Amino acid sequence: MVVLVKKLTRKHMLHRLKSGQKGFTLVEILIVVALIAILAVIALVTINPAEAQKRARDARRIKELGTLQGIVEQFMSDNPDYGGVTATSNETAAVPNSCATGWINKGDAGATNPIDVCDYANTVPIDPLNRSGEFVSSTDGTIGTGLLRYQVIIDDLARYRICTRLESAANAQKLGQDGVDNGFFEVYSATSVADCS
């Protein structure tokens, strides 16, 4: 019986070749397209481009907090009697990241002690979004909504706190690793400096 099946199959294939049928059938093409679509969906779910962008922006925020910390520490070293300021990167300035007229120089509304950071940096980092959006608000991954920005607080005792919010739920545990569990990722010289807002 096995021989018969082989002969029929061979006979069928010869007939198919002789009749000019070459290529794939519509059913075969549809099966391949369906398999490619399933693999594409699995890849998108696995990669999750929106979450990857959030993680990339968070990595930039953490790096730029280090840059801001270097600027503030150098400024405070050169100006130990500085009176203090609060500055946020969502300030509307002509050039928000300029060393001379950027957000850190203006301070918040009514600030009397602008910071001249041109001796320490050519540009001042601004948050990758610098607007309202969703962020991780606690170490358990709770999502909140509000301004995504940098904030620099320098008090009259030459102490500072520099804060940002993180977007990615994968970075929620970092909110508690900075020593203060307040929903911000921050660097500071003293925890007694006013909290970020």
Q: How far is CA 63 from the centre of its chain?
A: 11
**DSSP 8-state code for residue 139:** T
Using alpha carbons, list the distances in angstroms from residue 80 to 62, 119, 144: 26, 16, 37
pLDDT (0 to 100) of residue 3? 46
Q: How far apart are CA 31 and CA 37, in angstroms?
A: 10
pLDDT (0 to 100) of residue 33? 96
pLDDT (0 to 100) of residue 168? 92
* Side chain identity, residue 28: E
Find the largest Cα–Cα distance for the chain. Answer: 101
pLDDT (0 to 100) of residue 5? 46
pLDDT (0 to 100) of residue 50? 87
pLDDT (0 to 100) of residue 4? 45
* Side chain identity, residue 171: N
Residues of the chain with confidence (pLDDT) below 50: 1-6
Other C-beta atoms within 10 Å of 67: how many?
15
Asked if residue 169 lies in contact with residue 144, where contact means CB atoms within 8 angstroms, the answer is: no
pLDDT (0 to 100) of residue 109? 60
Instruction: Give the domain ranges of the chain.
Output: 49-188
pLDDT (0 to 100) of residue 2? 46
Q: How far is CA 72 from the centre of its chain?
A: 23
pLDDT (0 to 100) of residue 179? 83
